[in-house]
Structure formats: structure tokens, C-alpha cells
Amino acid sequence: MSKDAIAAEGICVMVVDDHVSTRRLVADVLRAGGIRRVVVVDSAAEALATLAEIQPDVLITDWMMPEMDGAALARVIRQAAVTADPRVPDPRLPIIMLSSGRTRMDVERSRAAGIDAFLVKPFTPARVLERVATVYRRKTDFVISPTYVGPDRRRAREDEPYAGPLRRRTDVARAVDAEARALLCAQILEEMTTFQRLIEARGGLDLPLRQMACRVMQALRQRAHAVADRGLERAAASLNRYVTAVGGAAKADPEVVATHLDTLRVLSLLATDDPKAAVILRQLDRAVTHRIESYLASVAA
């Protein structure tokens, strides 16, 4: 089941977070990804008070919240499978834990509380939408025991292949994997479409979106390397070169960031041997170099 199919089904996602900026960003990403029914609340108490009325299909909760944290909220929801709780219509509700860290202890505590998946901050739009689609479509046994209530934990750690750079000595340089590249290009187009909706919804490339764009480009750089597409890899690396040179995403010109997003979109529509790709990459290199030189000159003046 694709993310498009998930959105088309009209599912409802509840976002629980006491920080308004994070709450808004997650909600904006979900809506930009085509999920129209998004409900945001600012506490676990409010979530429990509205679950029966809203009946969400997926719940995303922040870990660190005052009074009742995300793990405690998950335990209350799961415990309703043992002792009926009128506030909880479905104890099996898929729960995604939003956290700024993911230590081994964090993972164990969250799994013990009965969550279905982690979403680590900072996140990308693709990761948010992938997590929602995964927990919604995943069919696992639900365990009710004296020591644990929640989805069966005896499953694969992740259901996605490694898409990072080659690191072992046995890894060899290879030609572009046409099938893997086609999949990557489709993912890029989806990601860029989501980004455009986010930009429109938030009235421009604000700082959170510029930071998110940098993370997206880092991920795309690794995935392009994995399929041996040097053009896509070079374009994705270009934004990091620019942001590093100017001193971070906060100082990055939104126009330059937007140019990189548009360049990735255009390149993903071209064949690897299309001469237009080489021209586009040269133009991007020149534009970025000029922007960096102009920034450094203004700082030195």
C-alpha cells in the first residue's frame, strides 16, 4: 500500500505535542503528503479526552511532555485492552513515538510501553509519511500478557533496505542501477511535490523548512550514491556545500535552497545520459559558487 493509497483512504492522524512549532510542522507535512484529516492537540490529557470522538487511525505523540509523557500515554491506551476505558475506543491504535534521541534505553522503554514505531527528530517529510503508512498497513499480532500489552515485538527491526553509501572493501563501483534509479527518481518527485505544498502552506521557505531541506538533500545524496547516479549525488551535495560555506541553514538564502529543490526535481525527470543534465549541473555549480563568493565578500567588507 503506497502513501498515495493511504492518503486516498481518508485516514485520520492525531498529533500530540506540547511544542506548537513541532506540532504545526508535523501537521503541515502530513497535509502536504495528502492526509487531509489531521487533528493536533497539545497534551496527553487532551488526546485521551478526544480519542473517542476523533477515533484517529494513527497517533503520533512526542515523548517529552509535561504531566504525562508519550510513553505514559501509550501505556494508558494499551491498558484499555485489559481494563475497558471509555476514553480509548481502540487499544490497538497504531502509535508512533516522536523523540529527539534514540538510545537503546529509549527504544526499550518505548517498546515496553507498546508503541509501533519511532520517528526521530529532526525528520524529513518522507520519513514522516513512510512511518504513518507503515504502521497503518502493518498487520501484527497484538499481545496481552501480565507484563506487556501492545503489538508483537518479535518482528524485523526495520522493513526498509539500506540505502547509504558503500563502505566495505568488497563493495565495488558499479553502473547506474536503472530500476533502483527509477524508483529513487519517483521518490524524489514525490518528495519535491510534498515540499512545494509545505512551502505554500507555510508562506515560504522558513528556517524549519530550510533545515528540513538540508536533511532531505543529505538523505538523497546517500541514496543517489547507492544507485551510482553521480549527477543526482552531485546536485544533492551542492546544497550542503553552500550551507556549510555560509554558516548554516539560518543564513542560507531561501532562493538558493529552492533552486536546489527544483534542480533535483528536473534531474529526476531526465535520463542519466541526457546532455541537459550536465548543463544543469554546471549552471548549479556556477550559481552556488557565485553565491558563496558574494557572501564571503559581504562578510569581509
What is the chain's percent helix, strand, coil content, to nearest 5? 55, 10, 35
SS3 97: strand
pLDDT of residue 175: 61
Instruction: Please compute the mean of the pLDDT values over residues 104-130 and round it to a whole number.
Output: 87
Per residue in 216-243, pLDDT (tens digit) is: 999 999 999 999 999 999 999 999 999 9
List the beta bridge partners of residue 151.
142
CB 12 within 8 A of CB 39: yes
Per-residue pLDDT of 2-29, as tens digits, reads 555 566 568 999 999 999 999 999 999 9
* Residue-level pLDDT at 122: 85
Residue 150 confidence (pLDDT) above 80: yes
Predicted pLDDT of residue 156 = 40
Q: What is the pLDDT of residue 78?
A: 95
pLDDT, averaged across the chain: 88
| pLDDT for 301 beyond 80 | no
| CA angle (85, 87, 93) in 5-degree steps | 90
pLDDT score of 10: 82
CA distance 257 to 252: 7
Q: What is the mean pLDDT of residues 274-300?
A: 94
Say yes or no to pLDDT of 167 above 50: no
Axis-axis angle for helices 254-268, 275-300 (nearest 10): 170
Question: What pLDDT does 35 receive?
Answer: 93
Tell me: the pLDDT tens digits for 200-213? 999 999 999 999 99
DSSP E strand stretches across 66-161: 95-99, 117-120, 142-144, 149-151
Q: To 10 degrees, what angle do helices 104-113 and 70-79 make?
A: 30
pLDDT digits (tens, 9 = 90+) for 41-99: 999 999 999 999 999 999 999 998 999 999 999 999 999 999 999 999 999 999 999 98
Percent of the chain scoring above 70 in pLDDT? 89
CATH, domain range 3-151: 3.40.50.2300
Distance CA 125, CA 144 (A): 33
pLDDT at 272: 84
d(CA 195, CA 23): 17
Q: What is the mean pLDDT of residues 106-128?
A: 87
What are the E-state strand segments in 44-178? 58-62, 95-99, 117-120, 142-144, 149-151
Q: Give the pLDDT mean for 142-161.
A: 70
Residue 276 has pLDDT above 60, yes or no: yes
